[in-house]
Amino acid sequence: MVSNTLYAAYDVLPTGVLLVGDDGHVIYLNSAAETLIGLSGTLLVGQPFEGLFGHNTELVAAINAARETNETVTEHDLPIQVNGHPPVRVSCTVLVHDCPGCSFLLELRPVDQRLRIARQENIRAQQEASRELLRNLAHEIKNPLGGIRGAAQLLEHELSRESLREYTQVIIKEADRLQSLMERLLTPHRIPKMSLVNIHEVLERVRSLLLAETPRGISIRRDYDISLPEIKADSEQLIQAVLNVARNAVQAMKGEGELIFRTRAARQVTLGNRRHRLAMRVDIIDNGPGIPEALREQIFFPLVSGREGGSGLGLPLAQTLIAQNNGEIEFDSMPGQTVFSLYFPI
Ligand SMILES: Nc1ncnc2c1ncn2[C@@H]1O[C@H](COP(=O)(O)OP(=O)(O)O)[C@@H](O)[C@H]1O
Ligand SMILES: [Mg+2]
């Protein structure tokens, strides 16, 4: 039997982990798995998996499927029952490779975590819908706006009194302002041009762009994992996305503070319903005041801004661009520390 201390690191994980050895016996389960299944490890470790779990047909089918294809299999809502205890419903991933000394590994999550993902999907769908609505609206507003501006210009030529021009100028200027807002609502629909991109070159570009426009009291520190491989992406789009996120941070810090660009490898990440064994995480961290509580649920919706003179288009555009590059963006914010994390598959 393998010593449990080997797997001590699993014990701090919030997801349940259960390992089955080459001989078909349970060799280890972490405390999250004990809690989920409702049985202590001492009762299960050393017992044959087949005898304990064999009657859970859906689970067995998932394990068989993983073995046959030699790939990771995830079942989202699986009943598991052991030793006559009431069944629990879990979301279960079976890993057959990358599991030294064991025949397979089960990763178990309570179903509410799946609901959380479903809720995120729901929010994403709403954001998508509201963006689509705005795009259509912007499209409809653009044409008559051109007509209004043109008519105001013609009218201006016909005016007999110079003092009346003030009014036509208001019409023209406001039409121009609306026009540029509409343009910005309409832009992001370019098909990405994918190539191999070094994320650190992207970050360095953003850094120098930002430093050029940033007050002296703000510094940008780098904390890069330079061993990360290149990713397949559209570098212009990534620059735009990171710039939008980082610029918000600079603006929030109001002239004084520190920004950190951090890159790391991330393991076992679910991006848009697909699980990736390896992904890249880019954190943009600031020590400003944090995102106002009332805005937190909404900042990825278009036209939501907490800033005087803000358009509320920066983050929705960043999110669209990141999604076009198969990535995801999320954030965690409290006063003194806001982290926006961008994930990309490797
Ligand atoms: N790092 C940050 N710290 C504090 N607030 C932030 C941060 N990033 C974004 N926000 C909030 O999210 C809002 C929306 O950002 P964005 O979509 O870029 O629109 P805009 O910058 O035009 O307001 C900002 O107005 C700000 O209130
Ligand atoms: Mg912004």
What is the DSSP track for 281-316? EEEEEE-SS---GGGTTTTTSTT---STT--S-HHH
pLDDT digits (tens, 9 = 90+) for 44-86: 999 999 999 999 999 999 999 999 988 889 887 788 888 877 7
* Number of domains observed in the structure of the chain: 3
Q: Does 159 share its domain with 226? A: no
pTM over 0.85: no
CA-based nearest residue to 276, from 319, 238, 328: 328
pLDDT digits (tens, 9 = 90+) for 243-267: 999 999 999 999 899 999 999 999 8
Q: Does 200 share its domain with 339? A: yes
Q: Is residue 218 part of a domain?
A: yes
Last residue of a domain, one of 186, 208, 235: 186
Last residue of a domain, one of 146, 164, 186: 186
| CA–CA distance, 31 with 147 (Å, rounded to integer) | 68
pLDDT digits (tens, 9 = 90+) for 102-139: 899 999 988 766 666 777 777 778 888 888 888 888 88
What is the overall mean pLDDT for the chain? 89
- For residue 263, the tally of other CB atoms under 10 A from its CB is 20
Is 21 near ligand 1, meaning CB less than 6 Å away?
Answer: no
Q: Does 121 share its domain with 108? A: no
Is 306 near ligand 1, meaning CB less than 6 Å away?
Answer: yes
**Mutation probe of ligand 1 site: the residue of 315, 320, 331, 341 with most atoms within 8 A of C-beta:** 315
Q: Does 32 share its domain with 141? A: no
Q: Does 60 share its domain with 167? A: no
Q: List the CATH number of the domain containing 58.
A: 3.30.450.20
| CA–CA distance, 12 with 31 (Å, rounded to integer) | 8
What is the residue range of 88's domain?
A: 7-113
Instruction: Note the residue count of the chain.
Output: 346
| CA–CA distance, 271 with 99 (Å, rounded to integer) | 23
End-to-end alpha carbon distance in the chain: 35
CA-based nearest residue to 318, from 246, 230, 211: 246
